């Protein structure tokens, strides 16, 4: 019996992906602290408890809204990074790209909405172009995205040399709307997690994206276009960058291209804690959202503890090293107990 | 059926490629210098010397970056600017305002660079962090230490005298840089280290099978990079005569641009010291030209970013075509 070629290629592609991701997910339930997504959950609960102990009013509905609102840009920045990591690349430009969207949305978008929309759309296209160069040139994406990050910074400084600008009023109305039962930020978080989970785990495109990160050769030989797949990943990331930039504007109500310079490291820390793998193919959208909220809440915790602002820059690096050492210790402990 | 690309490809002998890179980059540097002269109206030798000095700083850290990149696996050292700053701060703090303990201060600063390099290397080889993430984390931790050390520190006058002294335009920086480059070139060309470095850059797995101690080698590349960054940072603080937290921010893109413009493949497995030096001078001249033509800091950033992308694209195309 002859099988349609398309169908065959899909099953061929699906099998290596399914084999690598499914048992890993099952195992995760068995050894809790060692796995990625649960690290994020543990960290989130710990940070949340710490926040409530330090500031009991944070447990109220408005308190939750006030605390979660500023975490949204980090969440969407991390989701953008996640789609790049999913196909096996790194995006060093994500911080300045979001800063640039922040600048555009506090200047051009406020004065001329249609021009603003065009510019933001161009930003997504710029991301697609970045993906095209990475695929065409076959060099590590790090170099291309490092170069791009300075272009974003330069454009941002040229458009707006000093911090300033003003958020469009409609943007503030949209992001400060009152929703039933829970604060709006919670719904945005849940939507971000649910949609990206669906894209990665349930949509056909998600499967192909995982395929590219997992086994490029298999994807190519089963007839999928690697170029189109990579461009889709960069387009998704670009869209999320635009969302993150708009949310930044709504949180800060102004623009500063340099405010986000450490955001790139934050996204990498979130990616690790969220349970993704840098070699590509394996990501956990829900873990990423949880980790992003936890990491940005950590800044509030430090503020409650009256820690000097200078420490904020290092906290992520220290959390990263701490989480890795913990994982390593758990891993060694696991090996030790298995030997007994 | 199209054969899928394999990450490991055979590299042509480096000598062939580096000779090409040399000429191109030198030509680019001369063209940029002539443009700079045209803009300012007359042939300025001083301008060339100023750029040589600034370029030497870039080339010092650029050579460190080159060693890291040559080790392959997408390795980059993004902590360079922060390590430079931290080394300068540590040196200033230990040597004191009057420079009583300058020698100890310089040793402490260099030690800082070594420690940062070891930290990077251990993060990469131990928990298996991607180099860019590990070095970014190290960088931000270093930056925090710098911020906590405060703004009260001053550079010892003796260090300034040392860094600024020159013989007919041959400034201390250039002398130190030439010594370092010679040492790196000798180690790279005349010892097994260079061979192992390129071997692991072309294929980690194959190098490991050929008894190259891949992990130790990886750590050593970061240590070299950290050490060179510390030297550059201490000299920079002396040459400028002051230290501040953001004194070295331009050296991140500068170090990568020097390597890329010099023609070293960012895929690893090869290195070219002379080309990297000329690359650094070219990048410095480019910034000067942009500055002279009245471009703001924004356009300078765009210029450097665009140069990296364009050069990488063109070089990769040329390599594929061959």
Compare B261 and A35 and report the one with higher pLDDT: B261
Nearest to B296 among A158, A220, A272 (CB): A158
DSSP-derived secondary structure letter, B11: P
Res A8: pLDDT: 41
More confident residue, A98 or B276: A98
pLDDT at A29: 39
On whether any CB of chain B is under 8 Å from the CB of A133, the answer is: yes
Residues in chain B closer than 8 A to A154 (CB atoms): 297-303, 305
3-state class (DSSP) for residue A302: helix
Q: How many contacts (CB atoms, under 8 Å) link A and B? A: 150
Contact A220 B123 (CB under 8 A): no
Nearest to A139 among B133, B253, B312 (CB): B312
**Left, alpha or beta for B41 (phi > 0: left; psi -120 to 50: alpha)?**
left
Q: Is A148 on the interface with B (CB under 8 A)?
A: yes
Residue B21: per-residue pLDDT:
58
Is the pLDDT score of B24 beyond 80? no
Under 8 Å CB-to-CB from B236, ≥6 apart: which residues? B57, B84, B88, B247, B248
User: Can you give the pLDDT at residue B199?
Assistant: 86
Interface test with B, best of A146, A216, A265 (most B CBs within 10 A): A146
Interface contact flag, B309 A142, Cβ < 8 Å? no
Q: Which residue of B has its CA nearest to A215?
A: B4
pLDDT value for B12: 47
Note the pLDDT tens digit of each residue in B171-213: 888 888 889 888 988 888 888 888 888 888 888 888 888 888 8
* Residues of chain A found within 8 Å of residue B317, distances taken between Cβ atoms: 137
Domain ranges of chain B: 45-321
Taking only residues 70 to 129 of chain A, the set having a beta carbon closer than 8 angstroms to any beta carbon of chain B reads: 90, 92
Q: Coil, helix or strand for B78?
A: coil
Residue B18 pLDDT = 43
pLDDT reported for residue A10: 44
Contacts of B1 in chain A (CB under 8 A): 221
Is the Cβ pair A147, B266 closer than 8 Å? no
Chain B residues with beta carbon closer than 8 angstroms to that of A158: 296, 298-299, 302
Amino acid B170: pLDDT: 80
Nearest to A147 among B5, B265, B305 (CB): B305
**pLDDT of amino acid A120:** 92
> What is the pLDDT averaged over residues B154-178?
83
* Spatial CA neighbour of B63 closest among B193, B244, B221: B221
pLDDT tens column, B235-246 = 999 888 888 888
CB atoms within 10 A of CB B270: 24
Chain B interface includes A156 (CB < 8 A): yes
DSSP per residue, B117-158: HHHHHHHHHSS---HHHHHHHHHHHHHHHHHHH-S-----HH
| CB contact (8 A) between residue A143 and residue B308 | yes
Shortest CA gap B257–chain A (Å): 9
Helix (H) and strand (E) counts in chain A: 15, 0
Residue B244, pLDDT score = 86
Cα A303 → chain centroid: 24
Helix (H) or strand (E) holding B270: none
Give Cα B215 to chain centroid, integer Å: 22
Low-confidence ranges of chain A (pLDDT < 50): 1-34
Distance from CA of A115 to the nearest CA of B (A): 21
pLDDT bracket for residue B111 (50, 70, 90): very high
Q: Do residue B145 and residue A92 have CB atoms under 8 angstroms apart?
A: no
**Domain B45-321: assigned CATH number:** 1.10.3470
CA–CA separation, B267 and B294 (whole Å): 36
Question: Considering the domain A66-325 in this protein, what is its CATH number?
Answer: 1.10.3470
Q: Which residue of B has its CA nearest to A270?
A: B133
pLDDT of A26 reads: 43
**Surface of A (229-248) touching B: CB under 8 A:** none
Please give the Cα distance from B61 to B217 (Å, whole number).
19
ipTM over 0.90: no
Instruction: Tell me how far apart the alpha carbons of residues B186 and B180 are, in angstroms, rounded to a whole number.
Output: 10
Nearest-CB residue to B140 (from A136, A147, A313): A313
Does the distance separating the beta carbons of B305 and A151 come in below 8 Å? yes
- Asked if pLDDT for residue B3 goes beyond 70, the answer is no
């Amino acid at each position: 019996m002859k099988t349609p070629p398309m169908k065959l290629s899909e099953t061929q592609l699906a099998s290596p992906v399914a084999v690598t991701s499914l048992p890993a997910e099952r195992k995760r339930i068995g050894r809790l602290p060692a796995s990625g997504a649960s690290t994020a959950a543990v960290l989130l609960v710990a940070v949340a408890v710490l926040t409530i102990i330090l500031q009991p009013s944070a447990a109220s509905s408005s308190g939750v809204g006030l605390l979660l609102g500023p975490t949204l840009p980090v969440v969407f920045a991390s989701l953008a990074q996640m789609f790049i990591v999913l196909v096996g690349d790194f995006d060093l430009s994500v911080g300045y790209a979001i800063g640039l969207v922040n600048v555009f949305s506090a200047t051009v978008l406020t004065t001329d909405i249609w021009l603003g929309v065009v510019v933001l759309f161009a930003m997504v296209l710029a991301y697609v172009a970045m993906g095209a160069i990475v695929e065409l040139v076959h060099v590590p994406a790090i170099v291309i995205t490092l170069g791009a990050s300075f272009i974003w910074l330069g454009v941002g400084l040229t458009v707006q040399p000093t911090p300033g600008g003003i958020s469009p009023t409609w943007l503030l109305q949209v992001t400060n709307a009152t929703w039933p039962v829970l604060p709006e930020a919670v719904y945005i978080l849940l939507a971000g997690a649910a949609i990206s989970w669906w894209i990665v785990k349930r949509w056909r495109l998600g499967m192909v994206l995982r395929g590219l990160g997992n086994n490029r050769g298999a994807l190519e030989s089963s007839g999928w276009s690697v170029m189109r797949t990579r461009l889709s990943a960069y387009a998704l990331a670009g869209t999320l960058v635009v969302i993150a930039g708009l949310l930044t504007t709504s949180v800060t109500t102004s623009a500063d291209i340099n405010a986000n310079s450490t955001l790139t490291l934050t996204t990498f820390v979130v990616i690790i804690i969220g349970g993704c793998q840098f070699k590509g193919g394996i990501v956990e959208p829900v873990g990423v959202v949880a980790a992003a909220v936890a990491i940005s809440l950590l800044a509030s915790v430090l503020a409650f503890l009256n820690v000097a602002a200078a420490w904020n820059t290092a906290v992520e690096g220290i959390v990263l090293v701490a989480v890795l050492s913990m994982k390593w210790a758990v891993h060694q402990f696991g090996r030790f107990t298995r030997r007994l | 059926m199209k054969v899928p690309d394999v990450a490991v490809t055979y590299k042509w002998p480096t000598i062939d490629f580096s000779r090409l890179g040399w000429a191109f980059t030198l030509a680019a540097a001369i063209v940029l210098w002539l443009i700079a002269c045209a803009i300012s109206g007359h042939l300025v030798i001083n301008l060339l010397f100023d750029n040589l000095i600034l370029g030497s700083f870039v080339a010092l850290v650029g050579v460190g970056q080159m060693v890291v990149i040559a080790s392959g696996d997408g390795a980059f050292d993004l902590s360079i600017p922060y390590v430079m700053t931290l080394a300068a701060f540590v040196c200033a703090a230990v040597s004191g305002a009057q420079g009583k303990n300058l020698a100890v201060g310089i040793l402490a600063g260099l030690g800082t660079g070594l420690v940062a390099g070891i930290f990077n290397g251990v993060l990469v080889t131990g928990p298996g962090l991607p180099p860019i993430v590990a070095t970014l984390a190290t960088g931000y931790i270093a930056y925090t230490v710098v911020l906590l050390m405060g703004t009260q520190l001053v550079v010892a006058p003796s260090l300034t005298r040392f860094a600024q002294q020159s013989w007919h335009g041959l400034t201390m920086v250039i002398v130190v840089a030439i010594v370092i480059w010679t040492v790196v070139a000798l180690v790279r060309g005349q010892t097994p280290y260079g061979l192992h470095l390129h071997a692991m850059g072309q294929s980690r797995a194959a190098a490991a099978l050929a008894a190259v101690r891949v992990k130790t080698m990886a750590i050593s590349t970061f240590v070299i990079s950290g050490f060179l960054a510390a030297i550059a940072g201490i000299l920079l603080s002396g040459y400028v005569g002051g230290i501040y937290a953001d004194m070295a921010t331009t050296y991140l893109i500068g170090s990568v641009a020097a390597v890329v413009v010099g023609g070293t493949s960012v895929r690893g497995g090869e290195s070219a010291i002379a080309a990297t030096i000329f690359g650094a001078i070219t990048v410095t001249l480019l910034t000067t030209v942009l500055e002279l033509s009245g471009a703001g800091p924004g356009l300078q950033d765009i210029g450097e970013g665009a140069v990296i992308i364009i050069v990488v694209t063109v070089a990769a195309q040329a390599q594929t075509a061959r």
